[in-house]
Amino acid sequence: MDAEDVSRLRAVISRLARQLNATSTGEGLTPTQASVLGLVTFRGPLGLAELTELEGLNPTMLSRVVRKLDEDGLIRRLPDPSDLRAVRVAVTPEGALVHDRIRTLRTQAVSDCLDHLPEHIGKELLAALPALEALEEELKSARSE
């Protein structure tokens, strides 16, 4: 593959992620807080080390994010049954509702943009989903090696 094309793909994916993260949540959460809430919602209770790795944050920053989400009642800390010195974080019912609202708003933002594009472009984007999902999985695998 041409290095310039790969660089363009990376740049577009990065810009799209930033645009989606900047989409107003109306929930008073930072993009990082919304992302952590999303991970905990989708993956279930997570240990802090696992969450640090998945989110790509340093442990100090993650602790601040978790503390804020906990104070807001969106996640709760649980003892880790396999290591009583460690904690896991799980979404609360309120956190699940907040995440659902954020997801709905962001999905609507993408839908609104697609409505303004020619129909064939929307179809091309949807057709590219399996390839983008495969790229995501490959990036995850490479990161964990």
Element (H, E) at 104: helix 93-116
Partners of 77 in beta bridges? 89
pLDDT in single tens digits along all 145 residues of the chain:
899 999 999 999 999 988 888 776 677 898 889 999 999 999 989 999 899 988 888 999 999 999 999 999 999 999 888 887 888 999 999 999 999 999 998 899 899 999 999 999 999 999 999 999 999 889 878 866 6
The single-letter code of the amino acid at 140 is K
CATH of 3-144, one of 2.40.50.140, 3.40.50.300, 1.10.10.10, 1.10.357.10: 1.10.10.10
Partners of 87 in beta bridges? 79
Output b/e per residue, 65-88; b: 16+ Cβ within 10 A: bbebbbebebbbeeeeeeeeeebb
3-state secondary structure 39-91: HHHHHCCEEHHHHHHHHCCCHHHHHHHHHHHHHCCCEEEEEECCEEEEEEEEE
Secondary structure of residue 23 in the 3-state scheme: coil
Residue found under tokens 């907040």: 98
